[in-house]
Structure 1
Amino acid sequence: MKNKYILIVSWVFLVANFASAQQITIYTIGDSTMANKQNPEENPERGWAQMLPIFFNEDVVIYNRAVNGRSTRSFINEKRWEAVYNVLKDGDYVFIQFGHNDQKENDSKRYTNPHTAYRNNLILFVKETLQKGATPIIFSSIVRRNFNEKGTLIDTHGEYPMEARLVAKEFNIPFIDLQYLSEQLEESNGIEKSKELHLHLKAGEILYYPEGKEDNTHLSIKGATEIAKMAMMQIQQLDIPLAKKIRQIKD
């Protein structure tokens, strides 16, 4: 009886270890366009990383550490990166997307020069992720819905996406150009229909925004889902274990 008990315990231990070995953990770090939103039952806003669980199978665990209003500078200074770094382990992934708040020149706690502080903060994330045996993936910021009077979508990110691309190239890590992909998404929807990707609500339309809302930066459920879907389609093309954990994506 004792031997039978030992065999059962050993079998359970082996199964648990096998399941743990199959599991992949993703940490997402970034700003409000990526972050989880409170009160999802009432709030129509979503961060695109908030939608990732619907695209991965049960082998993937996602910890969304993106926070509204953060830049690379404030994310580091508030020790939010330290908290992620301390728990990173071999085989994990870190999705990195900053830029929207790094460009806020009137806020010394968030602003970073794209060619110096921003670049070096990204390098810090990358180097320390690699030190832990984890895989960093850099994403450029999603585009703002910023059409001019001629119907042309105008960039608002300046040099930040280029620096993100250059850091990824320098360290030979994956780079996913969400700015370009989201530009295509906005333009394909056109000036009016692209409003559905964001928060364009009339006064009294929903209780969460009784006075209405017009926001061309942050995402609706539809917008966040479309961005996450595009990101996953790009990851499927990479030669990394995570790509095999993505559910079949329907057009």
Structure 2
Amino acid sequence: MKFTVPSLVALALGAIQVTAAPASDNDNVNLVTRAPTVYFCGDSTMAAKGANDGATDGWGSYIGDLLTVSAVNKAIGGRSARSYWNEGRFQAVADLVKSGDIVVIEFGHNDGGSPTSNDNGRSDCPGSGTETCISDKTGETVYTFVFYVIQAAKLMTAKGATVILSSQTPNNQWETGVWSGAPSRFVGYQLTAKNALADSKVTFVDHHEAVSRMYRKLGNSAVNALYPNDHTHTSPAGAKYAAQAFVQAVYQNMNGTTSLSSYVKTPITTVY
């Protein structure tokens, strides 16, 4: 069943309000005594078994080994911010979340293309705000990457969670033998969503930049060896590197302090 996107009346980025039930005294006790669970929402670059080709894995498979709290990997291959929303997957995670939990949201690899030209069900409407498109396949109203991420973050914070908006991992930046490190537009869109929310419970981690620094350090041959089949999905070794880069960015407050900073196992492995 498709999860319905809010109506056009609520298109303004700040218009959708999700109200959480008031906390009880027992909830307040739990906030003190219960360790948070960290949920990870993303695509195949994060998902267990990666591209399901027997040779790749996602960094969400390794992140739990680097944290002092429980990590739940909810990433699904082939998903974009739009399709993860439409399929009700953000809502399913929100249904699990308790006050004090942490949710990491990272998309971008499958969000390109155009919903108005042979729509694949994943492409977001181009733009960084309230732009909309009409799918040429389904006739649905399609929103921007920023819009879907904002709504997802609001679902989680309404449950008392904190949210980390993480930029997508890069493709193989040494694929041609010459360094090419320019980020996709979705890296900037993730920061745009964080800034538009203007909520202290929502922070940003530039995972793309952390992995890029690591790739520059590793060099051409080492990085190419991490991509067995294509320029997007890494080997298990590459996925572990990506998890370590994420943790280093969090621990060293690359983009400021996040709610995950206190739950990193130390000493960390420095990869960039």
Give the TM interval when normalised to the shorter protein.
0.7 to 0.9
Q: 1:45 aligns with which of 39, 48, 56?
A: 56
CA-to-aligned-CA distance 1:62-83 (integer Å, 9 cap, x gap) = 2111100000111111111121
Cα offset, 1:138, TM superposition = 0.6
Q: Which moved more, 1:179-188 or 1:116-125?
A: 179-188
- Determine whether 1:128 maps to 2:155: yes
Encode CA deviations 1:173-197: one digit per residue, 9 max, x unaligned.
Answer: 2111111122222222222221232
Please list, as runs of the form range in 1=range in 2, the aligned pairs for 1:105-144 lying within 5 A after superposition.
105=114, 106-115=118-127, 116=131, 117-144=144-171
- Retained in 2: the 8 A contact 1:36–1:50? yes
Secondary structure of 1:137's counterpart equals strand
Q: Is the 8 A contact 2:39 2:103 kept in 1?
A: yes
C-alpha displacement at 1:245, in angstroms?
Answer: 2.1
Question: Which residue number in structure 2 is paired with residue 202 of structure 1?
Answer: none
**Cα gap change, 1:91/1:33 in structure 2, threshold over 3 Å: closer, same or farther?**
same
- Summarize the alignment of residues 202-221 of structure 1 with structure 2, pairs less than 5 Å apart: 214-221=229-236
Structure 1 154/122 Cα, relative in aligned 2: closer, same or farther at 3 Å? same
Question: Displacement, 1:147?
Answer: 3.9
Cα-to-partner distance string for 1:153-209 (whole Å, 9 max, x where unaligned): 15462x21111111112324211111112222222222222123222xxxxxxxxxx
- What one-letter code is carried by the residue in structure 2 that aligns with 1:34? M
Between the aligned residues of both structures, percent identity stands at 27
**d(CA) in 1 for partners of 2:166, 2:93:** 18
2:85 aligned partner, one-letter code: I
CA distance in 2, matches of 1:114, 1:164: 14
Does residue 203 of structure 2 align to residue 174 of structure 1? yes
Q: Does 1:232 align with 2:247?
A: yes
Contact 1:153–1:187 at 8 Å: present in 2 too? no
Q: CA RMSD in A?
A: 2.5
Task: Report the equivalent of 2:101.
Answer: 92
User: Structure 1 residue 71 and structure 2 residue 71: aligned?
Assistant: no
TM-score by length of 2: 0.71
Question: CA separation in 2, counterparts of 1:162 and 1:176?
Answer: 11
3-state DSSP of counterpart to 1:192: helix
- Partner in structure 1 of residue 18 of structure 2: none
1:114–1:133 distance in 2 versus 1, CA, 3 Å: farther
Letter aligned with residue 37 of structure 2: T
**1:62-113 superposed Cα distances (whole Å, 9 cap, x missing partner):** 2111100000111111111121111211101110001110113354300002
Gaps of 5+ in 2: 1-28, 132-143
Q: Which has the larger radius of gyration?
A: 1
Whether the 8 Å contact between 2:59 and 2:243 is mirrored in structure 1 is yes
Amino acid at match of 2:63: L
Count of matched residue positions in the alignment of Structure 1 and Structure 2: 216
